[in-house]
Amino acid sequence: MDFGGPSFVILIILVSTVGWLVNNWIRAKHGYDLEDEWGGKTQRSDSAETKRLKEENRELRESLDTMQDRMVVLEKIVTDRGYTLSEEIEALRDKPAPVAGERAGAGVPLDLGKKERT
């Protein structure tokens, strides 16, 4: 092959152009920004479908955050109050009924005889 002739220069230009086209095709296929002839980036504009999916994704993330907050509250209720709640119910069963004229539930705390949990 003669490296001094025009065919070698044309071959280099052809290989470079094909490489650039393949590079941009792969980038476009996978959603990356495209490169222009001078190495700058060209951003893809979002289609209506992409905008709708982003909005739906945002709404689902907000819903998930709300559900996680609710789950934390429910876990606290179940784990922190479960033991003492059953003791309070049993203490109410053992407490005599109020006498006529007395107000039931006058705000007096129950004597639960707190036990230490281990």
Q: Which residues contact 104 (CB under 8 A, 6 or more apart)?
A: 98
72/64 Cα distance (integer angstroms):
12
Residue 15 pLDDT exceeds 80: yes
β-pair partners for 42: 34
Q: How confident is the model at residue 6 (pLDDT cuts 50, 70, 90)?
A: confident
pLDDT at 66: 93
Indicate if 27 and 60 belong to the same structural domain.
Answer: no
pLDDT at 118: 47
The yes-or-no verdict on residue 108 having pLDDT over 60 is no
Domain-embedded: residue 1: no
Looking at per-residue confidence, does 72 or 5 come out higher?
72
Q: What is the pLDDT of residues 17-60, one digit of tens each?
A: 999 889 888 888 887 777 766 666 666 666 777 888 889 999 99
**Is 14 within the bounds of a domain?**
yes
Q: What pLDDT does 18 receive? A: 95
Specify if 62 maps to a domain.
Answer: yes
Name the domain count of the chain. Answer: 2
pLDDT at position 107 over 60? no
Q: How far apart are CA 100 and CA 78, in angstroms?
A: 36
Task: Flag whether the pTM goes above 0.75.
Answer: no
What DSSP state is assigned to residue 45? P
Domain that holds residue 21: 7-44
Q: Span 1-30, mean pLDDT? A: 85
Residue at 54 is within a domain: yes
Residues 50 and 40 in one domain: no
